[in-house]
Amino acid sequence: MSDALRLMLDRYISVQPKANKLSLPLDRNLGDITRYTYVFADSLPLRMERLAVVRPSANVLTLSIRQPLGTVAPKLYFISSSLPLPLSVLFSDQPAPNELPLNMSRRLGTVVGVPIAPPVDNEDVALAVNATADMSPTASAAVTIDADNDVGVAIVAVANMAPTASALISAEQIAVAIEIAATATLNPTASATASYDSNNPSVGMLNVSSNIQDAKLQGVGRQSGFENNANLAKSVSADWQQSKIISTNNQAQFESNEQLISSRQLSFEQSKLIGDSSKQGAEYQTFIASKSTLKTENAKRISHSNWYSFEAMAKRQIDRTLGAEYAELITDRLDTSSDYNRLTALSYDLRHEFARLPYSKLRYVPPPLSQTVILKEQVIEGWECGTGALRHYVYNDELALPMHRRIADRGISSSLAMPLSMPRGVLELSAEDADAMETRPCKRKTLGVNTTLDVVTCKPKMFGKASSVAVNAQSMINATAWLELLIGEKGEAYNKGVIFVTNSVSLVRSDDGREIKMLGFSVGIDSNSYTWSFSATVPLSELSKVNTAYEQQIGVEFTCNGNLWRFILDSCDDSVSFGESSLTIKGKSRAMLLAHPYATHRGFKYDTAMSARQIAEDELNRFGVPSGFTLDWQLAGVNGWNIPANTYSYSNKTPINSLQWIAEAAGGFINAHMSEDIIHVLAHYPIPSWEWAAQTPSIELPMSLITSRSRGRVNKPAYNGVTIYGENDGGIAALIKRTGTSGGYQPPMVTSDLMTDQDAAISRGKMILSDTGDIGNIDISMPLVADVGVLLPSTLVGVNDGESWIGKVSGTTITGRLNSNRALEIEQVAGFERHFDKESV
């Protein structure tokens, strides 16, 4: 009866292994490869690893101006030979090697190639990464001129940048797809306020224009100029020379302390802020910002929608790979990235340049660290070899390595055929190897190099077979389990909760209502018993109420969980020994009064034709004397079958014997009602067993009610026909056979006095043919609850005991006892007949 709610674990999300836990049997250690040169940032005005948020405010930088006002510092570029290929270009998109001289000069931060659009595949795993970068630089400048006859000026410049970049990576379990969306929003605001003393005669303010010399004020609609203490004020623009303000609609410039103001741009030379909707630049403190890019020259940051790139600390994101040059960490989800302590993470793939990890499930193997390329096929004149000339090959190594080449492109198996690096220019092959080379054009022993050859690059060619590197990774997995209680996924216990059964039971005498205490009881019936059987253990002190030796026919009323039975006690056994005593009483249904010894045996014969039901009812009212019992006829039609005159004849039968005789003739049985004086005449198989699977039973026994189950199986002959023969002249002879069969597989002939009608033959035949095949006798224990009730014999019940099947109740027993806690436990054990071989419709 346990019905604990099922917790359904919907999914697991695994986070990538930690990089430092990788155990790499590669023959190369981190940092062994020196092909890359790294530029350190100490030559730059700002430390490279300094985050934008920790940079000094703008006005702090004004002291280090070394450039003439009005000039813009040239952009700085890194010249690097360490980056032969663009960092973020697919191998297939990369230019041919010969197009990339090793001493290439490429502006860092530039991107060649088409940005990779990751596949959209985010079915199972969703890793949400939110990275937020807040930059709120504030630039302010204040200039005060104290001389009373001069102009007092206060300038405040504020620049706020609050870019936010977020990235989301979604990946299926194996096939990794990455979707990154990064957004940096910049909201620069620049304002400038010029205040002056209106009482000072040297302040002039005009809407359109004014011009003062020697304390003059010039104001024009678009321009005003002061020569000494000039103050030009306009709503939009001011321009000063010496101490002048030049203002225009779109620009303000200060030469000594100039301010550029426009609706879209602020430019300070000493503390210059350039801002527009997508960019702000300062000379010594440059902010370059756009929705997808932040760029500073001294500490610049380049951000794209799909990746961030730092100069001299390149960061690559290619499709499914993020690589870092030293010990990069690229983080997803909750990680941040710092310049010298980078974290690289992918949902399922981690790849390092110097310690590459192929992801075996994806069948990745790393490409050899050195790719040998035939630059040109060389032919030495005079070296004849078969029909061709000896060919020499010049090789070049140290080419950029494809970062992510699938092994599928190169064949799956084989060992690492090529050394990880080769001396440049020569490939020597042994005779065996040379012979084995498919591409070997000549079977000479040695391939030499003509160093004077005009080396012309040709397309890269791969020698050897595909390499495979076994990597054992011991990973620390930080797993986050997502527990989701799926209420909608209903277990059968859903919405039912725990089933509490409150048991109640009582036993009282029918005549005076005295209650009889019980210690335990059992009550049951089956299809072969016409009455309910009752037994109970009662305290010996109750003997006076149940002493059948003194009183005959003690009627009792037994109530259990709302079900009422009436019994007549017919037995009272007690035993007493030292320290203990017991008293057991037994009883049967009141239908017992129709049987021996309460009813007498008798004989009878009907001279007229009657139906079976009429005869049965007459048995209960012989000679017009009612027995008090009535019939509930449910066998072979409403009234049973016809029995001709002078056919129904017997001797020495009690009424119960007669009813059983009648019922058995048509494959039926009789059961007493639980409490009423009613005799049920029922068919053993009201529905043939081969039709059960198509039925919808009115009673369903759910698994949650089943407390135990035991099964026995018996295999009976699979008869498909039966011959039934009447024993009187008024009888019939019939072959009852299963539809579609010959009916030739039969049990011994069945004869009966009352086989007088086809209805009876059919009913009897169905009973015989139903009781065939692979039969399970299954006992199921359950609490006695109202939903199921007392299961009466021949009832069809839908059972779910792990399997769903339909069975017929063959009998039931309800037992009650006091457990060790003196609590009443009541259990119904019902026997079911199940036909395993007939369950497929």
Q: Is 421 in the site for other proteins (CB under 8 A)?
A: no
Establish if 656 lies at the interface with other proteins (CB under 8 A): no
Q: What are phi and psi of 689, to 5 degrees?
A: -60, -25
Least distance (Å) from other proteins to the CB of residue 498?
28
412 and 19 in contact (C-beta within 8 Å)?
A: no
Q: Which is nearer to other proteins, 541 or 708 (CB)?
A: 708
Stretch binding other proteins (CB under 8 A), from 7-15, 100-108, 369-377, 760-768: 760-768
The span of 157-165, 308-316, 659-667, 772-780 binding other proteins (CB under 8 A) equals 772-780
DSSP state of 331: -
Q: Is 831 in the site for other proteins (CB under 8 A)?
A: yes
Could you say whether residue 528 binds other proteins (CB under 8 A)? yes
Task: Name the token pair of 611.
Answer: 């139906």
Site for other proteins in 667-696 (CB under 8 A): 688
- Torsion angle in degrees (nearest 10) through CA of 299, 301, 302, 305: 180
Least distance to other proteins, CB of residue 731, Å:
6
650 contributes a contact to other proteins by CB under 8 A: no
Q: Is 816 in the site for other proteins (CB under 8 A)?
A: no
Query: Dihedral (C-alpha) 273, 279, 281, 287: value to the nearest 10 degrees?
Result: 90
Q: Can you tell me whether residue 250 is helix, strand or coil?
A: coil
Q: Which residues have a Cβ under 8 Å from the Cβ of 60 and sit 6 or more positions away?
A: none
Neighbouring-strand partners of residue 799: 701, 805
Q: How far is the CB of 495 from other proteins (least distance, A)?
A: 32
Pick the binder of other proteins from 810, 826, 834, 835 (CB under 8 A).
810
Query: Interface with other proteins includes 766 (CB under 8 A)?
Result: yes
The closest of 629, 14, 29 to 348, measured between CA atoms, is 14
To other proteins, the closest distance from the beta carbon of 811 in angstroms equals 5
Closest CB 363 distance from other proteins, rounded Å: 57
Residues in the chain: 841
Is 614 a residue that touches other proteins (CB under 8 A)? no
DSSP symbol at 597? T
323 lies in the site for other proteins, by CB under 8 A? no
| 635 sits near other proteins (criterion: CB under 8 A) | no
Q: Find the binding residues for other proteins in span 735-754 (CB under 8 A).
A: 735-740, 743, 746, 748-751
Q: Which is nearer to other proteins, 607 or 729 (CB)?
A: 729
762 near other proteins, rule: CB under 8 A: yes
Applying CB under 8 A, among 23, 454, 729, 819 the residue interacting with other proteins is: 729
Binding status of residue 301 toward other proteins by CB under 8 A: no
Per CB under 8 A, 233 contacts other proteins: no
Candidates 17, 118, 765, 783; binder of other proteins (CB under 8 A) is 765
- Got the DSSP string for 454-478? ----------S-------EE-----
Structure tokens at 232: 């030009």
Interaction between residue 732 and other proteins (CB under 8 A): yes
Residue closer to other proteins (CB basis): 359 or 521: 521
In whole angstroms, how close is the CB of 684 to other proteins at the nearest point?
11
Measured over the CA atoms of residue 526, residue 529, residue 531 and residue 534, the dihedral's sign is negative
Residue among 148 and 727 whose Cβ is closer to other proteins: 727
Pick the piece of the chain touching other proteins (CB under 8 A) from 12-20, 147-155, 330-338, 823-831.
Answer: 823-831
Q: Residue 263's closest CA among 224, 223, 305, 235?
A: 235
Please, what is the minimum distance in Å from the beta carbon of residue 730 to other proteins?
8
Tokens of 16: 């990538």
Beta strands in 259-372 (DSSP E): 260-261, 266-267, 288-289, 294-295, 302-303, 308-309, 316-318, 321-323
Across-strand partners of 533?
A: 524, 588
Minimum distance between the CB of residue 538 and other proteins, rounded to whole angstroms?
25
**How many Cα atoms are found within 13 Å in the side-chain-facing hemisphere of 101?**
4
Q: Is 625 exposed, middle or buried (0-12, 13-18, 19+ CB in 10 A)?
A: exposed
Dihedral (Cα; 660, 662, 668, 673), 10-degree rounding: -50
Contact 588, 531 (CB under 8 A): yes
CA dihedral 197, 200, 202, 204 (to 10 degrees): 60
Binding residue (CB under 8 A) for other proteins from 14, 548, 758, 800 = 758
In whole angstroms, give the CA distance from residue 303 to residue 324: 16
Q: Residue 527 Cβ, how far from other proteins at the closest point, in Å?
A: 8
Site for other proteins, residues 43 to 82, rule: CB under 8 A? none
DSSP secondary structure letter of residue 97: G
The only residue of 371, 469, 829, 838 in contact with other proteins, by rule CB under 8 A: 829
Residue spans of alpha helices (H) in 317-360: none
Least distance in angstroms from the C-beta of 737 to other proteins: 6
* Region near other proteins per CB under 8 A, out of 133-141, 267-275, 632-640, 710-718: 710-718
Separation between Cα atoms, residue 285 and residue 64, nearest integer Å: 11
Query: Looking at beta carbons only, is 255 or 779 nearer to other proteins?
Result: 779
Binding to other proteins in span 257-286, by CB under 8 A: none
> In this chain, which stretch among 306-314, 426-434, 557-565, 765-773 interacts with other proteins, using CB under 8 A?
765-773
Upstream peptide bond of 597 is cis (omega within 30 degrees of 0): yes
Assess 552 for contact with other proteins (CB under 8 A).
Answer: no
Tell me how far the alpha carbon of residue 271 is from its chain's centroid.
55
CA distance 173 to 474: 19
What are the residues binding other proteins (CB under 8 A)? 526-529, 688, 710-712, 723, 725-729, 731-740, 743, 746, 748-751, 758, 761-762, 765-766, 769, 777-779, 810-813, 829-831
